[in-house]
Structure 1
Amino acid sequence: MNPLNILRDALFFFTRNLGRIAPLCLPLVALECIVRAVLISQISPEHAPAYGLLVSLLFYPLYSAALILLLDARSQGRRPSTRNLLAAAVPLWPAFAVLAGISTLLIMLAASVFVLPALWVMVKLAFAEYLLVLRGLTPLQAMRDSFLLTVGHFWSLLACVLLVIVPLWLFDDWTLRLLGQQSDAVGSLLLDCLNGFLQLFSTVVLFRCFMLCSPPITESGEAS
């Protein structure tokens, strides 16, 4: 599993299907950014991270599940409508939100110790969302199977994760510096939306990894 080949394939898919991904995910990403900005402006700074996380748990499962369903459909040559993808994502929201919440807490706990444990947890949970959405597993089952499925692929997955998130972090830091201390509210919101949308590229990259690492599905619907 060559990380550079995976990134190349993911970038090709992302750019080629931008016209499908943008109308599917961008409105929800923008709404998430607007709600978070309005909410944070009304509360004290020390409470902002917690409320920001709650807002993310409200919107992130919807557009991420819809994107995963789109990726799976396109890998099979199907072209479902945006409406059908969103309709299929809505019933997945409760379980996806629980999974996202638990995963975030585990990564934050690991990060409180050191960055390396946080990266380890991030990599070991890399396939949990795909297992929940595409295999119908519960949050805990998806996390367990993700730990098992990533065995033997840790370093390749870590390279993929770092090659994606480090440039995104640098871009986010650069935009914050560009805005400065007295940032324009509209400009800040637009850049926040752009950063949120670009982060969807990591979902495409990890989906490609998931497809390469997953055992084939038999006619009975079970992994062989």
Structure 2
Amino acid sequence: MNPLSILRDAAHFFSRNLQFIATLCLPLVAAECLARAIVASLTDSAHSPAYELLVGLFFYPLYSAALILFLDARSQGQRPAIRDLLASTVQLWPAFAVLAGLSTLLIMLGGALFLPLALYLMVKLAFAEYLLVLRGLAPLQAMRESFLLSIGHFWSLLACVLLVIVPLWLLDDWTLQLLGEQPDAIGSLILDIVNGFLQLFSTVVLFRCFMLCNQRPTEDSHSS
């Protein structure tokens, strides 16, 4: 896998389907950011991160599963309706929420022990969501299969992850500096929504990686 080619293809797809992706995912991303802002204003700073994490675990599976289903449909030349994608997403939500919770806790635990371990786990679990949504695997099985599917692709996946998340982190840090020490509530919310929406690009990138990793065994079997 060539990370630069993957990023180029993902950027092309994201830009061409920007309107549909925004219509599908942006309302849920905005609702998540608004809910986090409300929770932060109603809770003390010590407990706010935990509650905000719970908010994320509620909304994230909804728009992520919807986007993955859309990516899969478009890869097959289909144009699904938004209502159909959301209906399927609701059915997937319980298992996806469990997977997101387990993955988040595992990565956080890894980061607490050794920061590179968190990055390693993030890469090895990169395909778990796609395996759950597209193959119907249970959360733990999807995590295990993601570890297996990523064998031989770690460094390419790592490059893709870093090329996406590092600029997004830098952008998020830059926007926080623009807001200053006492940010405007509305401005802060808008920037959170924009940053949250841009992070969906990583889902497109990793879907492309997932497709390439799944194609290789098929191609090898035909050539042998």
The match for 2:96 is: 96
Matching residue's letter, 2:24: L
- Give the 3-state SS of the residue equivalent to 2:164 in structure 1: helix
What is the 5 A alignment of 1:166-177?
Answer: 166-177=166-177
- For the structure 1 residues 25 and 74, does the alpha-carbon distance in structure 2 shift closer, same or farther, using more than 3 Å as the test? same
- Structure 2 distance, partners of 1:11, 1:83, is 25
The match for 1:222 is: none
CA offset at residue 139 of structure 1?
0.2
Matching residue's letter, 2:92: L
The gaps in structure 2 that reach 5 residues or longer are: 219-224
- Structure 1 distance, partners of 2:87, 2:187, is 32
Residues 1:119 and 2:123 are matched in the alignment: no
Matching residue's letter, 2:199: Q
What is the 5 A alignment of 1:1-224?
Answer: 1-215=1-215
58-67 vs 111-120, which deviates more? 111-120
Matching residue's letter, 1:100: A
CA offset at residue 214 of structure 1?
1.2
- For the structure 1 residues 147 and 208, does the alpha-carbon distance in structure 2 shift closer, same or farther, using more than 3 Å as the test? same
Matching residue's letter, 1:202: S
Relative to the length of structure 2, the TM-score reads 0.96
Q: Note the alpha carbon deviations across 1:78-134, whole angstroms, 9 max, x for none.
A: 000111111110000000000000000010001112221011000000000000000
Relative to the length of structure 1, the TM-score reads 0.96
Q: Note the alpha carbon deviations across 1:139-185, whole angstroms, 9 max, x for none.
A: 00100000000000000000000000000000000000000111100
CA offset at residue 39 of structure 1?
1.1
Q: Note the alpha carbon deviations across 1:17-64, whole angstroms, 9 max, x for none.
A: 001100000000000011110111000001111001000011000000
- For the structure 1 residues 217 and 26, does the alpha-carbon distance in structure 2 shift closer, same or farther, using more than 3 Å as the test? farther
105-114 vs 128-137, which deviates more? 105-114
- Structure 1 distance, partners of 2:90, 2:8, is 31
- Structure 2 distance, partners of 1:76, 1:193, is 30
- Structure 2 distance, partners of 1:214, 1:146, is 11
- Structure 2 distance, partners of 1:17, 1:131, is 23
Matching residue's letter, 1:135: R
- Give the 3-state SS of the residue equivalent to 1:45 in structure 2: coil
- Give the 3-state SS of the residue equivalent to 1:51 in structure 2: helix
- Structure 1 distance, partners of 2:164, 2:115, is 16
- Structure 2 distance, partners of 1:149, 1:164, is 21
Matching residue's letter, 1:107: I
Matching residue's letter, 2:6: I
- For the structure 1 residues 6 and 100, does the alpha-carbon distance in structure 2 shift closer, same or farther, using more than 3 Å as the test? same
Matching residue's letter, 2:23: P
The gaps in structure 1 that reach 5 residues or longer are: 219-224
